[in-house]
Structure 1
Amino acid sequence: MESKLKTIAALSLAASWAAASASAATVTYSNTHTTPKLQLIVDDDASPGTYRFSMSTTVGTADFLALGFNYSGISLAQTDFSLVSATRADDTPISPSLALFGDNTGSQSDCGAGCNFNGSGSASSFDYILRIGQQGGGGDNYVKTVVFDLTAPGSLDMNPFSQFAARAQSTTNPEGSIKADLIPPLGEPPTPVPIPAGFPLLVGGLAAFSLVRKSRKA
């Protein structure tokens, strides 16, 4: 009997932990170009109050220069963003600068020298544009992949991002540089599993352990 209770308790606690871990959400965005096929992955699993952005290409190559987005949360500042990692064309690690443009009013289309979204896709102005590195596709100025964090309240289960677009240069697109809308599959992010879903399992596990202790005393 005691062995069965231990097994039930262990399984309940493990399931509770799995349900809690599943509360983090991940949304993958991509463009409609055949090449380069850009990919932006946003997740809120890095740490509480942190969104992690990972930009790369799944087809072809591109030098990322900026990411435009709309944000329904509080006003953001330069200090809310931090670089995690980046690589250049030959996969050597680099440290491109990050510069934030915009004031949460949906009117930002410029992001410094050689960087703008004028006439791009369905979105050409944003609440914010994060510039990544410098114009020019050589050496450390070529940003093949980049990962950065945004520290801000909220989570992806109440997704505060309504629009993403990427500015890329030195691409495999026959027309050269691109300004591309990035959209999630079917236009909607996946529904995460909320942390409270694991609460009954946690209670069950603790109750089973309590019964084990009582049976030992008896």
Structure 2
Amino acid sequence: VVNKLRGGLKIAAVKAPGFGDRRKAMLEDIAILTGGQVISEDLGIKLENVGLNMLGRAKKVSISKENTTIVDGAGKKAEIQGRVAQIKQQIEETTSDYDKEKLQERLAKLAGGVAVIRVGGATEIEVKEKKDRVDDALNATRAAVEEGIVPGGGVALLRASLSIKAVGANSDQTAGISIVRRALQAPARQIAANAGAEASIVAGKILENKGPT
């Protein structure tokens, strides 16, 4: 504030993100992203001893009341990649869903994968409904990224039926296997039939096709 009043250097005061140890980690992320250094007495660095060589750089910094966006930081690519790898390792090791979510947020910011979705509506009820839909979509996307996806339309189940042995150890097992295989094939066949196509032909073509669909 004093520096701003004196006019020695153009500055903008921004509240640091996060709390406690998480705040320290996020400040270190920003320092690595911009090629700067965290200024903290915990690290033995006092504000009065800061030099220009300790400041980070970026192509653009956009500051609003609620958000600060850093675009194209001047940090070293190798250091950023090293930080990304470190966070990925922490994600693998943590058993807390909350910690994992926060680590993933940090990872996305370092990797340049941050998006802001603004939801609007004519009424509060409409806004809430749209927000719930967006939350559902985000959760589905996170699940897909973490756990993977399979082809829809009954294709995955149809192909899974091929991995089941056709003959069991006895007649009862063979009958059970046959029932399970037919059950796995049923969704794709029914979808094809609902569309007015010949179910057996469509199922055969799907099984012949080794691609993702």
- Which category describes the TM-score, using the shorter chain as reference length? under 0.3
Higher helix proportion, which one? 2
TM-score (norm 1): 0.24
Structure with the greater relative contact order (CA < 8 A, sep ≥ 6): 1 or 2?
A: 1
TM-score (norm 2): 0.24
Higher strand proportion, which one? 1
